[in-house]
Amino acid sequence: MARDAVFRSWQNERAKHYRRINNIDDMLGTAVNVQAMVFGNLGETSGTGVGFTRNPATGVKEFYGEFLMNAQGEDVVAGIRTPVHISELRKIMPQVYDQLREITTRLEKHYRDMQDFEFTIQEGKLYMLQTRNGKRTGLAAVKVALQMVEEGLITKEEAIFRVEPNQLYDFLVPRLDEKSGKVEVLATGLPASPGAAVGQIVFTADEAVKKAGHDRKNPVILVRAETTPEDIHGMEVAVGILTSRGGMTSHAAVVTRGMGKCCVAGAGDIHVDEKKREMHVKGQVFKEGDWLSLDGTTGRVIKGKLATLPPKADDPELLQLMGWAEPFRKLRVRANADIPRDAIQARAFGAEGIGLCRTEHMFFEKDRIPHMQAMILTDNEKDRRAALKKLLPMQRSDFIGVFRAMDGFPVTIRTLDPPLHEFLPRREELMVDIAILPHADAKEKKSLVEKYRRFGAKSASDLKKVMSGLLRRVEELHEFNPMLGHRGCRLGITYPEITEMQARAIFEAAVAVAKDGVKVFPEVMIPLTATLKEMANQAAIVNRIAQEVFTEKEQKVDYLVGTMIELPRAALVADEIAKESQFFSFGTNDLTQTTFGFSRDDVNKILPTYLAEGILKQDPFAVLDREGVGQLVKMATERGRKTRPDLKVGICGEHGGDPSSVEFCHQTGLNYVSCSPFRVLTARLAAAQAAATDKLKVEAGRTK
């Protein structure tokens, strides 16, 4: 019976979940030790407790733990009785306390790591029940590693493995100060982007901007069912984002991680009524202006206003550890950054260039989207060129800012990628507006005129014509599967004038900063190529414009033209594509989508079942699938370098900041990884660990 219970415990939901998140194979099974039982509940000279040899939250070297007299293990952790701080044991049973300290110190020395132990005192006699290396926060991990080097327990080389790269987030983001108030958890969502945020609720992006006010004086938390690119201006001013739908790779999650902004996503218990501007949870109703505290590191949504503790990116102990790690690193680490502000932030975290600057994010800005829409709505090249001409100086000034921030480092700029309909009103919204127009009263008509003013509506009498004209174009651009649609280099091939404008903005900016003495290395990146001819088509445009600008401005800069490898076909014919491509950057988000046939925006309908059934061990959008997608990465790298031995190869998908994926990139011989600014530190440590592992392996080989 007992044996059965033990084996069953391997299969319980909690165990399955633990294995899943820690990537432990379901087939390993569990072992059973049979031993005598000791009892902590035999009276006042018995007791039981748990502890750590150092403080697992801060890393401070202090004996840390709690116990209960006349109690069994369950009583300590179950929360029915309140345990007592371990220092009290010294008063109650000084001998036992000293023995416990002596034993745990010995255990720490033996295992050369901070110990998490359990003990029982049976009628005055101490029994150790368990010891293991203790879990700790990032802050503690760094401090403990440094202390142990100082104490001569471990080497510096070992120390760099004592911190999990993902834990370095703890230094970069604010944390909730849980002692500052009552912690009432309303719901727990996905920890989509770490850190803490405390602010007043708003339900729309426009309201966020209004409420945040000048200089973002008022902290706001944007609460949405899910976010879309149209919410960007609101996300930028908010201190945190909360969504009731969407997963770790939803729009909200990806964008906030890029911004280093706290986000709790997919908090399913929360119902967001965007019309009424209300949030319902646990029978409570929250309205605009109510205070909320978010913990993006754990996914908790907390009622009311807690205080936050500031980030510690310049912590001297962190810098010390990184100083030991960095010399090992072979991979370069760049950041994905679209605007000068992010580039500056990334550089502060140690980014050695920009690996992905998405130009379309610039087009969603309020002052730009009208020109973008004008370009899309016209049916002729002349008007398209006129609209593009208005966008040119805006793009150029963005690039100037990014180049300046990255003085001395390369900047990879991707030409326009998303399908054009993303810049227009949503089809179903337009259809509904048209359907209700005949029934609209004067007030409703007025608000529709306002809504469609920028598409040419001047009065209620225009509405029908403007709206149906707009719908016609939206229908023309409508796609059943936009991810597989008219986007990426397909846009630049259909509308070469777009690539021309973008190339001109890049080279005019580069030449301008070069004249000021900035060391600028633009790398123009063509997205979504599948064939050599696409690459040749776009490279020819970029090179032609470069020469034009260099002649006009009488100044040259060095530059590269390359491509994103984000389709299986591109990987399969990488030897061909490399003929026209001076660098490859793996867009592993899209490559994962097409290799698996998973839409990133929809995969959360499938993923929970797949993880629960053990069909996938982890979300392939979070951790690179080495078996499948990785095969293509390896193939493309090898084939590309066969054609062009000096081909520069990097990765700029979400995986660029995931430690396991960084290790794979190191092993595959990539030149760099690029990730969101707030993952740069993580990527740097992960890359150093991967290289240090190589060195240790070589040394182990020599010793044999």
Residues of the shown chain interacting with a copy of itself in the complex, contacts defined by CB under 8 A:
427-428, 431-432, 435-436, 438-439, 479-486, 488, 490, 493-494, 528, 530-531, 533-534, 537, 566-569, 572-573, 576, 590, 593-599, 601-602, 605-606, 609-610, 613-616, 625, 627-629, 631-632
Q: How many residues does the chain have?
A: 704
In the structure encoding, which two tokens stand for residue 667, read together? 């092993």
User: Which of residues 4 and 627 has its CB atom nearest to a copy of itself in the complex?
Assistant: 627
CB-based contacts of 206: which residues, under 8 Å, 6+ apart?
Answer: 233, 234
Phi and psi of 611, rounded to 5°? -75, -40
Q: Which residues pair with 302 in a beta bridge?
A: 185, 293
User: Which of residues 23 and 609 has its CB atom nearest to a copy of itself in the complex?
Assistant: 609
Contact in structure between 287 and 201 (CB atoms under 8 Å): yes
**Within 10 A of 371 (CB to CB), how many other CB atoms are there?**
18
Q: How far apart are CA 450 and CA 439, in angstroms?
A: 17
Q: How far apart are CA 691 and CA 670, in angstroms?
A: 12
CB of 304 to a copy of itself, least distance (A): 31
Q: How far apart are CA 383 and CA 243, in angstroms?
A: 39
CB of 640 to a copy of itself, least distance (A): 15
In the structure encoding, which two tokens stand for residue 524, read together? 């123009």
Helix 13-21 to helix 2-11 angle (10° resolution) is: 50
CB of 485 to a copy of itself, least distance (A): 5
CB of 402 to a copy of itself, least distance (A): 28
CB of 631 to a copy of itself, least distance (A): 5
Q: Which residues pair with 319 in a beta bridge?
A: none
Handedness of CA 203, 206, 211, 213 (dihedral sign): positive
Dump the DSSP string for 438-463: GG--HHHHHHHHHHHGGGT--STTTH
Kindly state the DSSP code that residue 577 receives in the 8-state scheme.
H
CB of 293 to a copy of itself, least distance (A): 30
CB of 665 to a copy of itself, least distance (A): 18
**Within 10 A of 142 (CB to CB), how many other CB atoms are there?**
27
Residue of 503, 665, 643 whose CA lies nearest to 575: 643
Helix 629-643 to helix 588-596 angle (10° resolution) is: 120
User: Which of residues 109 and 533 has its CB atom nearest to a copy of itself in the complex?
Assistant: 533
Among the listed residues 251, 361, 421, 666, the single catalytic one is: 251
Phi and psi of 223, rounded to 5°? -110, 120
Question: What radius of gyration, in Å, describes the C-alpha atoms of the chain?
Answer: 29
Residue with tokens 């040899």: 53
Is residue 251 part of the annotated active site? The answer reads yes
In the structure encoding, which two tokens stand for residue 570, read together? 């591109």
User: Which of residues 374 and 607 has its CB atom nearest to a copy of itself in the complex?
Assistant: 607
Ramachandran assignment for 353, one of left (phi > 0), alpha (psi -120 to 50 degrees), beta (any other) = left
- Hey, what amino acid is at 664? F
In the structure encoding, which two tokens stand for residue 415, read together? 């030409």
User: Which of residues 367 and 480 has its CB atom nearest to a copy of itself in the complex?
Assistant: 480
CB of 498 to a copy of itself, least distance (A): 13
Among the listed residues 263, 489, 652, 675, the single catalytic one is: 652
Planar angle of CA 241, 171, 112, nearest 5 degrees: 130
Which element (helix H / strand E) includes 139? helix 138-150
Q: How far apart are CA 670 and CA 332, in angstroms?
A: 9
User: Which of residues 623 and 686 has its CB atom nearest to a copy of itself in the complex?
Assistant: 623
Count of alpha carbons within 13 angstroms of residue 382, beta-carbon side: 0
CB of 570 to a copy of itself, least distance (A): 9
CB of 544 to a copy of itself, least distance (A): 16
CB of 437 to a copy of itself, least distance (A): 10
In the structure encoding, which two tokens stand for residue 296, read together? 């993006």
Residue of 543, 539, 546 whose CA lies nearest to 563: 539
In the structure encoding, which two tokens stand for residue 14, read together? 């909690």
User: Which of residues 312 and 421 has its CB atom nearest to a copy of itself in the complex?
Assistant: 421
CB of 597 to a copy of itself, least distance (A): 4
Q: How far apart are CA 277 and CA 266, in angstroms?
A: 18
Helix (H, G, I), strand (E, B) or coil at 174: coil
Q: How far apart are CA 403 and CA 510, in angstroms?
A: 7
Distance of CA 183 to the CA centre of its chain: 26
Helix (H, G, I), strand (E, B) or coil at 418: coil
**Within 10 A of 90 (CB to CB), how many other CB atoms are there?**
15
Q: Which positions are annotated as active-site residues?
A: 251, 652
